[in-house]
Amino acid sequence: MVGALTFRLEAYAGLSQDERASLDGLARKNVREIAPRRDLIREGDAPRSVFVVLEGWASRYKTLPDGRRQIVALFVPGDLFDLNVHILKQMDHNVGSITALKVAEIAREEFERLMLEHPRVTQALFWDELVTVSVQREWTLNVGQRTAYERIAHLLCEMIFRLRAVGLSDGSSCDFPADAGRSR
């Protein structure tokens, strides 16, 4: 069975059987299960690994000194977080599970080896990063200029599109976590 990450990256570059097998193999190693509402990464932690979401939903968030937090990204199956982990000396954000979460934790060295040995995977990852940055620009526009109705409509459309890209939506509906809106 092709994993969500492989399925997603194939939208950007035709991958060989060997490339698909390498991606799926990394996604099967070092699998961790995290309970809902738990942090995987905390601001200030030393970065170690790249994570691939296998099942469930997670969020990247920032916390203000008074405890208020702002979600700045959502993660669903097939998403990578902290792809460029080697750049930071310490994490400048938190990542927490929204639902029960299953992730593959991939050591930085293993991920770098994958990219060196499989240039088309690297190309697909670059495309994926461009899409991720585009989504982030839309989130910034949401906060600054869109009305509440427009923000919700945009989020619903974004999530249906992202889940469809990994085979988890038919394009007209998707499941949202039941308690995704509750604060921690």
Q: State in Å, rounded, how far the first CA of the chain is from the last one.
A: 35
83 in any annotated domain: yes
pLDDT (0 to 100) of residue 144: 86
pLDDT (0 to 100) of residue 27: 86
172 in any annotated domain: no
68 in any annotated domain: yes
Taking residue 141's Cβ as centre, other Cβ atoms within 10 Å add up to 13
Number of domains in the chain: 1
CATH number of the domain within which 25 lies = 2.60.120.10
pLDDT (0 to 100) of residue 182: 54
pLDDT (0 to 100) of residue 168: 87
Taking alpha carbons only, the member of 138, 135, 112, 144 closest to residue 125 is: 112
pLDDT (0 to 100) of residue 116: 93
Taking residue 62's Cβ as centre, other Cβ atoms within 10 Å add up to 13
Per-run averaged pLDDT (10 residues), the chain, 184 residues? 81 91 89 95 89 94 93 93 78 94 91 92 92 90 90 91 88 77 50
| DSSP states along the chain | ---HHHHHHTTTSPPPHHHHHHHHHHHHSSEEEE-TT-EEE-TTPPP-EEEEEEES-EEEEEE-TTS-EEEEEEE-TT-EE-TTGGG-SS-SSEEEESSSEEEEEEEHHHHHHHHHH-HHHHHHHHHHHHHHHHHHHHHHHHHHH--HHHHHHHHHHHHHHHHHHTTS--SS-----TTTTS--
66 in any annotated domain: yes
180 in any annotated domain: no
Taking residue 25's Cβ as centre, other Cβ atoms within 10 Å add up to 13
pLDDT (0 to 100) of residue 48: 83
pLDDT (0 to 100) of residue 171: 83
Q: Please write the tens of the pLDDT for every residue from 13-61.
A: 989 999 999 999 988 889 999 999 999 999 999 888 899 999 999 999 9
pLDDT (0 to 100) of residue 179: 62
102 in any annotated domain: yes
Q: Which residues contact 134 (CB under 8 A, 6 or more apart)?
A: none
178 in any annotated domain: no
46 in any annotated domain: yes
pLDDT (0 to 100) of residue 167: 86
Please tell me the total number of residues recorded for the chain in this structure.
Answer: 184
Q: How many whole angstroms separate alpha carbon 120 and alpha carbon 125?
A: 8
Q: What is the mean pLDDT of the chain?
A: 89
pLDDT (0 to 100) of residue 2: 56
Domain range for 160: 4-165
pLDDT (0 to 100) of residue 176: 84
Q: Which residues contact 127 (CB under 8 A, 6 or more apart)?
A: 12, 13
